[in-house]
Amino acid sequence: MVLIACWDRIRPNRTKLDSLIHKFRRTRQDERAREWSAFETEAMPHIDDLFRIARWLVRDRTEAEDLVQETLMQALQSFHRYEQGTNVRAWLVTIMYHTRSKRIRSASRLRLVSDVDERIAETVAFEPPTPNGITEDEVLRALEHLPASFQEVVILSDVEDFTYKEIAETLDVPIGTVMSRLSRGRKLLRAELGKYANEQGIGIAGAGK
């Protein structure tokens, strides 16, 4: 091979490559700061909501914290996919449900609940009236008695104020299913609360109708 030598443009300080890397890092740093600031404003205020749902889903504080953490880290990484102006809470909750179902699958303890749940709900054939004057504790205890698939629609609708469409997207079920689960879930909840009312002689709205 012919003798090869290289051309060395002498630079006293930084090489071109070094300054390119430096420039790259600075631009990247600016972008990161902008993205974090948007994420902090949009997503971070919903930590409490996410935790409440997580805590209800997994029933264990540490596990709920893990789930919220994983959800927000995931959300941060895919924040560029979030459409500005849409319901960020619904977007976050959807990520949380995905994260959770991934976990359940990986731990291979997928629950086959839906069929059973729906049949239980069918057994409440009558229209239970809504009791008045119930306490917060009673409401939570009654909710715990509902099958999980009804609990989640009731929480997402009544507590989180999601639209039917948002619930359908979050849980990845058809809107019709959301409506029927919500209607049956609330019916079950009223029936459950009716038991306390009967035990404690609490008034019932629409009684005597």
Which residues, numbered 27-66, are part of the site for another protein (CB under 8 A)?
Answer: 27-29, 31-33, 35-36, 39-40, 44, 47-48, 51-52, 55-56, 64-65
Residue from 116, 145, 171, 183 touching another protein (CB under 8 A): that is 183
Q: Which amino acid would we find at residue 170?
A: T
Long-range contact pairs involving 78-83 (C-beta distance under 8 Å, separation at least 24): 79/35, 79/38, 79/39, 79/43, 80/35, 82/42
Query: Going residue by residue from 66 to 85, which x/- string records binding to another protein, judged by CB under 8 A?
Result: --xx--xx--xx--xx----
Among 113, 116, 148, 205, binds another protein (CB under 8 A): 205
Q: Toward another protein, which CB reaches closer, 21 or 116?
A: 21
Least Å distance between CB 183 and another protein? 5
**Which residue of 46, 89, 100, 186 would you call a contact of another protein, by CB under 8 A?**
186
Structure tokens at 173: 């079920």
Closest CB to another protein among 78 and 101?
A: 78
Give the residue among 88, 81, 102, 77 at the shortest CA–CA distance from 49: 88
* Residue 3 binds another protein (CB under 8 A): yes
> Residues 24, 86, 116, 174: which binds another protein (CB under 8 A)?
24
C-alpha dihedral sign at 182, 168, 102, 72? negative
Angle, helices 88-106 vs 61-77, to 10°: value is 120
CA angle 33, 37, 92 (to 5 degrees): 120
Query: Residue 82 class from Cβ within 10 Å (0-12 exposed, 13-18 middle, 19+ buried)?
Result: middle
129 binds another protein (CB under 8 A): yes
- Interface region with another protein, contact rule CB under 8 A, candidates 85-93, 96-104, 115-123, 185-193: 185-193
Shortest Å distance, C-beta 110 to another protein: 25
Instruction: Report the residue number, 6 or 110, with the smaller CB distance to another protein.
Output: 6
Q: How far apart are CA 58 and CA 170, in angstroms?
A: 17
